[in-house]
Amino acid sequence: SLSDSFIIIIFSLIGGIFIRYLYIKYSNSFSSKVSYGNSLLMVTLSVAALIAVVKSSLALSLGLVGALSVVRFRTAVKEPFTLSFVLLAVCLGISIGASQYLFAFLVAMGGSLAAIISNISLTKKLNKKETNDIDRLNIVGKSEKSVIEALDLISEMCKTYQLKTITSSSNSQCVATVGIHIDSNVELKDLLYKLNSSSDIVGVTFYNSPS
């Protein structure tokens, strides 16, 4: 009925906005969180509408199987944690589309709890990180002066900073290995951007410490 359809659309929008909020707040993705979060909102709404259409008709269900059998999605998901949000959006959409609102609520609460626990565990791991387990950064500059300037920038942006080695070769290039502590992907992205913005820096390599 029209009232059932309206309820499904409203609940799927609310669920999609909730999944979008969880992804933007707790995801550790390097890509645009807002853009991918908007995609999760559309996935939740689309799946709920799809299930609502075919749930009452066997013919439509069989037709859907045939139609989707020729669809191929080739967009690579680089972070496994991002894939979990896609599956959560699909599960929430199926639950709402099937009018299982209580189960959809439980799925949303369980997903949010799992995201919060994962974020807390990651934060504790970063806070307990030992000095000898800090991340390693290699910097290659055209001269010693450019590398020294890069080291000054690192000392300003990073809480933990240790100069491991610095080597100056005969071709005037200088290589430095630095131990740093990075709390988040946003800080790493900002640091790499500022280092690579210098024309005297030939290359920057980041090595994440083993877990």
Question: Quick one: tokens of 7?
Answer: 């309820």
Q: Provide φ and ψ at 56, rounded to 5°.
A: -100, 5
pLDDT beyond 70 at 3: yes
**pTM of the model as a whole:** 0.54
Cα–Cα distances (Å) from 5 to 10, 17, 18, 50, 160, in that order, read 9, 18, 20, 11, 55
For 12-66, what is each residue's pLDDT tens digit?
899 889 988 888 888 766 567 788 788 888 988 988 888 888 877 666 666 666 6
Cα–Cα distances (Å) from 85 to 48, 93, 147, in that order, read 16, 12, 41
Cα–Cα distances (Å) from 186 to 1, 27, 28, 82, 143, in that order, read 47, 11, 9, 16, 28
For 137-190, what is each residue's pLDDT tens digit?
778 888 778 788 888 887 777 766 677 777 776 666 788 888 777 767 777 788
For 59-115, what is each residue's pLDDT tens digit?
666 666 666 655 566 666 666 777 888 888 889 988 988 888 899 899 889 988 888
201: three-class secondary structure by DSSP: strand
Query: DSSP letters along 76-113, please?
Result: ----HHHHHHHHHHHHHHHHHHTT-HHHHHHHHHHHHH
Report the distance separating Cα 97 and Cα 9, nearest Å: 9
pLDDT given at position 130? 46
121: three-class secondary structure by DSSP: helix
Sequence-ordered list of residues with C-beta below 8 angstroms from that of 210, at least 6 positions apart, any chain = 133
Cα–Cα distances (Å) from 160 to 150, 154, 168, in that order, read 15, 9, 24
154: three-class secondary structure by DSSP: helix
